[in-house]
Amino acid sequence: MTLKKKFTLGLTLIMLLALMVMGTYAYLTSTPETVSNTFTIGDIEITLDESPVDEYGVVDATVSGRVTENDYKLVPGHTYVKDPTVHVLADSEACWLFVKVEDELTAIEDATTIANQITANGWTALGATYPGVYYKEQAAVTADTDVAVFANFKVKSDADLTNYNNKKIDITAYAIQKDGLSTAADAWTAVSAAASNTNP
C-alpha cells in the first residue's frame, strides 16, 4: 500500500472517528423537553340551614330563604317541621360529611325519632363512643348538592313538658377531605382536632 493510500485511509478513519465522537457528544448534551405540572388546592365548602317556621313548626311563607335558627313552643302530640339540610357547594372535592346532633328532647319524642330519620336518610351513626355523630361519604360535586339530615320531630301525646322549657336541638355540620382518610373514625378525629384548634 502506497504512502498516499495509507494517508487517505488514515484521514478517512480519523474523520469517521470524529463524526462518531461528535454524534455522541450531541446526544449526551441534547436539551430535554420541559414537563410542567400545575397543582391546584382542593376545596370543600358546606353550609347548613333549615326552613323558616313559626313557633308551632309550620313553614312561614312570609320569610324568604332558609334560616339557621327557629324557636318552638312545645305542645304534646304536635309535629314540628325541622328540616336541617347540609348544602355541599359546587366544585367541592370528595369528602366525609358529619353532623353532630345534640337533642335535648329525645325522651319526649314520638316513635319516628330524629335518630330514626337520620339513618333513614342514609347517614350512619359513628358509634357509641361518639354519641349523636353521624357520617356520610360524599362524592365530588360540580353543582350545589343538598343532603337532608331529618325532616321533623313529634312530641309524644302524653309527654310531661314540665322540665323542657328552653331545651334545644342543636345540629352542627362538618366536612373534611376524603383523600388520605380511609375511615370515618379517622376523619372524625381529624375534624375534631381542627375544630378544637379553631375554637379554643
Q: What is the pTM of this model?
A: 0.79
SS (H, E, C) 82-103: CCCEEEECCCCCCEEEEEEEEE
Mean of per-residue pLDDT scores for the chain: 85
Question: Which domains, and CATH codes, for the chain?
Answer: 46-198 (2.60.40)
Per-residue confidence (pLDDT) for residue 85, from 0 to 100: 96
Q: How far is the C-alpha of 150 from the C-alpha of 152, rounded, in Å?
A: 6
Per-residue confidence (pLDDT) for residue 195, from 0 to 100: 77
Residue 38 in this model has a pLDDT that exceeds 90:
no
Residue 2 in this model has a pLDDT that exceeds 70:
no
| Residue-wise pLDDT tens digits, 55-66 | 999 999 999 999
Residue 7 in this model has a pLDDT that exceeds 80:
no
Average pLDDT over residues 160-172: 94
Average pLDDT over residues 94-122: 96
Residue 98 in this model has a pLDDT that exceeds 60:
yes
